[in-house]
Structure 1
Amino acid sequence: MKANTAFIKQLNIETLRKALRNAGQATKSELADLTGLTVVTINALITELVVSKEVIENGNVPSGGGRPSMQYRYNYDYQCAAIVYGYQKNNKNCINTIVVNLAGEVLWKNDEYIETVEIKSFETVLDEVFKQYSNIKVIIFGLPGEVIDEVVTINDYSNIIGPDFIPHYKNKYKVPVLAENDINAMTYGYYRTHNSEYSDSVVGMYFPRNHSPGAGLIIDGSIYYGKQHFSGEIAAMPMPKPWEEMNYFDENEVIKNLEQLLTVYCCTIAPSMFILYGDFFTDTIEERLKLYTEKLLSNKFIVNIEVSDYLERDYEYGLKCLALDTLWEEN
């Protein structure tokens, strides 16, 4: 009986939390209308949330002729996430670090270049972050590689490959530590921005030039990893020109590889959109690639391609969405 009561109470708290989070601020009476809970139940639960500082008393507001009512405001700074992500910029390892609150607002940001990424390379910036924000509840890394069961199995930062990277930061900062592949995060960020347009599948591809390319796949709103997280390892596919020998500023070379690559995805996934990231793309490549790929497919499939200049925006937004999903699940 006690377990059942505790379970119901937790469900009610989650219902109340979600309603106030979405409304931003509300009185007890308004929360009762939004949740279907009684004012008596709201009164008991809201007191707990105020004590924990998840909810803030926002002062009295008029109540239509009666006594003024206390308005409650959700405290989006109650918990935060630290996000660290790396990508190639000007052929260098650019590392961005941000702190976001429960509303997804960026509270702190730092950009730096790191010549050689080691396991401890992110300690200095994270020490500063944890010094300023004591309410960080999760660290999320965006990395050019894969992490399976806390083991870095593949990574362009070769010095962090192995079982030590994730446990090192978990032990040092005493919070959950997650990692997401860079192109998965970019593709997810693009999808979450455009999900009203592309409800089934989106393929993202990232060509950093001085490292192997990779692909991300979103199916029905979720990142698809495949067995051993091998989905998207397009560098392993046989191509007319090996990627490490590619002259990315030779349009003909680029298109020969990409038309075959996109054709395979069209025949197996038939995505709503291809989103391509790379500093060598031109409008001409985009137009020719669409034309040539559709020709290879005997014009039986319409290929939608978008070359994006918003790698950092999509990357950061994808990681923010993953961070917020994690924080709200743990709340």
Structure 2
Amino acid sequence: MKVAANTVRIRQINTELIRSVLRQSDYGTKKSIARTTGLSIATCGNILKELLESGEVLEMDLADSTGGRPSRRFVYNQDYAHLLLMYLRQEGTEKIIYSSVINMGGKVLHEERSCFTEISLAGVNYLIDTFCSSFPRLKVIGIGVPAVVNKGIIGLCDFDFLIGFPFAEYLRKRTGREIVIENDVNCTAIGYFRADTDQNTESLAYIYYPKEGNPGAGIVVNGSILQGNSNFAGEVSYLPLGVPADLQRKIQGDKGRFSYYVAKTVLSVNAIINPGTIVLSGYSFTPEIRELVLQRVTEEAPAGHVPGLIFQEDIHDSYVEGLKFLALKKMSCEFELVRK
């Protein structure tokens, strides 16, 4: 049984190698795919046959002949599957649901952002049902929530109706689709990390201060989200810094207290994780508060250990990028290929 399981796993890896090559190329031939992946031409041919039958790969016109038999050319079908990305968010009194449908190449097919006085499970179900009906090729639903998410069950959360709810399993049974549910700042952190092609760091901490809300952090180490033992990693509002959780929501308008509290949070994260970059995000970071935070951190961090601070006003772009990465990963047998 173990040998059979290993054989299946190896085939999954080989299939993912071929997918990866085709998705990053305009097209491929058996020979070029074999050369790039290191697989045999026979193995590539067998896997390509399966991908053609499923519709995940399409065949193009034959390549121009150079004297021999013209090569068959294959292209990845970016519309083989569609993915729904959705997040639930609260900024002050504003409650937001953002949704977009993308194809496997990341092309946005539909996008909408709605504001509500209240968000309910019935409202979320209605939106998801609408997308499932409109996009029959929808295979994965990726949802970001302002919550601790442990094995698909929602813990601490800004939306009371989700607390203690096995959200992932509920949606999986209800829709028949694969489901990814992740903490909002974890999504944002991995999205920022993957989109920031200029950085040379293997780690970062992304700390988000929602308007009139408690902060949270997403931590990326060696290219992966640091979850912690119970997925509690990054809940920086629980740092023992002398500011109770209910008060943290009220001090954002006090530039002196807020900048002091943010600086202490940054210094704490730096001392424990020492990431290459710390990103601070939120609408409360005025130019003056940014300067105060930078000054306090620079003064209090030991020489040679001052963290690199970056400010990003809104989490949206990084958030969606993170959801896209996690949803696409769900389509890739739950592993990521890393080239060295």
2:145 is aligned to 143
Which amino acid counterpart does residue 219 of structure 1 have in structure 2?
V
Of 298, 301, 310, 1:306 maps to: 310
State the 1:261 CA deviation. 1.3
Give the secondary structure class of the aligned counterpart of 2:121. coil
Which amino acid counterpart does residue 119 of structure 1 have in structure 2?
L
State the 1:141 CA deviation. 1.1
Alignment of 1:1-331 (within 5 A): 3=4, 10-89=12-91, 91-194=93-196, 197-242=199-244, 244-245=246-247, 246-329=250-333
Measured at CA, do residues 290 and 153 of structure 1 come closer, stay the same or move farther in structure 2, by a change above 3 Å? same
Q: What RMSD over aligned residues (CA atoms) do the two structures have, in Å? A: 2.5
Could you tell me the TM-score, scaled by structure 2's length? 0.88
Measured at CA, do residues 10 and 159 of structure 1 come closer, stay the same or move farther in structure 2, by a change above 3 Å? closer
State the 1:47 CA deviation. 2.3
State the 1:298 CA deviation. 4.6
CA distance in 1, matches of 2:8, 2:318: 40
- Paired positions, count: 331
CA distance in 1, matches of 2:10, 2:315: 43
Give the secondary structure class of the aligned counterpart of 1:315. helix
Give the secondary structure class of the aligned counterpart of 1:120. helix
C-alpha contact (below 8 Å) 1:170/1:177 kept by paired residues:
yes
Q: What percent identity do the matched residue pairs reach?
A: 28
CA distance in 1, matches of 2:184, 2:319: 7
C-alpha contact (below 8 Å) 1:198/1:273 kept by paired residues:
no
CA distance in 2, matches of 1:93, 1:125: 15
Q: For structure 1, which runs of at least 5 residues remain unmatched after alignment?
A: none
Measured at CA, do residues 32 and 116 of structure 1 come closer, stay the same or move farther in structure 2, by a change above 3 Å? same
CA distance in 2, matches of 1:217, 1:9: 32
C-alpha contact (below 8 Å) 1:140/1:177 kept by paired residues:
yes
State the 1:297 CA deviation. 2.6
CA distance in 2, matches of 1:199, 1:244: 34
CA distance in 2, matches of 1:305, 1:314: 17
Give the secondary structure class of the aligned counterpart of 1:218. strand
Measured at CA, do residues 52 and 289 of structure 1 come closer, stay the same or move farther in structure 2, by a change above 3 Å? same
CA distance in 1, matches of 2:265, 2:304: 17
Which amino acid counterpart does residue 23 of structure 2 have in structure 1?
R
* Larger mean Cα displacement after TM superposition, 91-100 or 299-308: 299-308
CA distance in 1, matches of 2:7, 2:217: 47
* Larger mean Cα displacement after TM superposition, 61-70 or 257-266: 61-70
Q: For structure 2, which runs of at least 5 residues remain unmatched after alignment?
A: 336-340
CA distance in 2, matches of 1:114, 1:314: 23
Deviations 1:156-184 (A, max 9, x none): 01111113433321111012222111111
Which amino acid counterpart does residue 324 of structure 1 have in structure 2?
L
Measured at CA, do residues 255 and 7 of structure 1 come closer, stay the same or move farther in structure 2, by a change above 3 Å? closer
Deviations 1:30-61 (A, max 9, x none): 23333344444443432222111011111122
C-alpha contact (below 8 Å) 2:62/2:73 kept by paired residues:
yes
CA distance in 2, matches of 1:257, 1:177: 36
State the 1:149 CA deviation. 2.4
Which amino acid counterpart does residue 199 of structure 2 have in structure 1?
E
CA distance in 1, matches of 2:174, 2:129: 10
Measured at CA, do residues 306 and 41 of structure 1 come closer, stay the same or move farther in structure 2, by a change above 3 Å? closer
C-alpha contact (below 8 Å) 1:81/1:99 kept by paired residues:
yes
* Larger mean Cα displacement after TM superposition, 16-25 or 321-330: 16-25
